[in-house]
Homo-oligomer: A and B are copies of this chain.
Amino acid sequence: MVAPAEPLPTELSPKARRTRASLVDAATEVFAKQQYLGTNVADIVSRAGVSHGTFYTYFDSKEDIFREVGLEMQRRFLAVRDEVPGPDEATLLERVEATNRSYLCVYQKNADLFAVIEQGATFNEELRKIRLEIRNGFVDRSEQAIARFQREGLVYDDLDARYVANALGSMVDRFAYVWLVLGEEFELEEAVRTLTLLWARALGVEAPPGTMPRKRKRRKRS
């Protein structure tokens, strides 16, 4: 886990808390609009309506506030992840679909900001950790689910659950990036359907009849 380095917000007076929050809000907007490298502290403080000095009473550096923005991002992702029904409430397939849809939706809503996190993660250790935590929030859970279903004989068990979870997680994660950051054109529902079916078939999950139509014909390829 990435440790919070700042004095906890609860130790701040109400006024201070407001000032700090306005800085985080401003930073969020500016980072989303101008990426990490295109943002300077001047942009943030001017949008927040405070002075440079004030900025440094709440944050050690530009990186520091960026981390804060990243953590907020992480919170949003983990929140939706936790809304996905548990193993006792839905079938595996339903859960895969719900997870994929949630992930793509949050990504879509925060695409600009998430692009910045991706950027930041390429040169900032702290951000890389946050990025990995978001990722692992999904991948670890998948791994556990896959391992469990492997034990239960519901999916192929000839592959390492960790490898599989990482590969399938990468699939969704990167698909979202290509779509929402790089700008390749896709459509949400078709994306969810594709990713979910690929996931299910790759694992060997039995799909409800009708949902996963079989191949029409079979011709052996020499």
List chain A positions with a Cβ less than 8 A from chain B: 35, 37-38, 91-92, 115, 118-119, 122-123, 128, 132, 135, 152-160, 163-164, 166-168, 170-175, 177-179, 182, 184, 186, 190-191, 193-195, 197-199, 201-204, 206, 212-221
Given contacts A122-B122, A201-B201, contact A167 B194 (CB under 8 A): yes
Q: Please give the distance in Å from A142's CB to the nearest CB on chain B.
A: 13
- Report yes or no: B194 in contact with A160, Cβ–Cβ below 8 A: yes
Given contacts A153-B217, A215-B156, contact A163 B186 (CB under 8 A): yes
CA distance A204 to B204 in the complex (A): 10
Q: Which 7 A-B pairs have the closest CB atoms?
A: A170-B174, A171-B171, A174-B174, A153-B217, A119-B122, A202-B202, A198-B202
Residues from chain B with Cβ under 8 Å of A167 in the complex: 171-172, 175, 194-195, 198
- Report yes or no: A191 in contact with B163, Cβ–Cβ below 8 A: yes
Residues from chain B with Cβ under 8 Å of A119 in the complex: 119, 122-123
Copies of this chain, complex-wide, total 4
Given contacts A215-B155, A215-B156, contact A178 B186 (CB under 8 A): no
Q: Please give the distance in Å from A220's CB to the nearest CB on chain B.
A: 8
Residues from chain B with Cβ under 8 Å of A198 in the complex: 159, 164, 167-168, 202
Q: Which of B132, B202, B206 contacts A201 (CB 8 A)?
A: B202
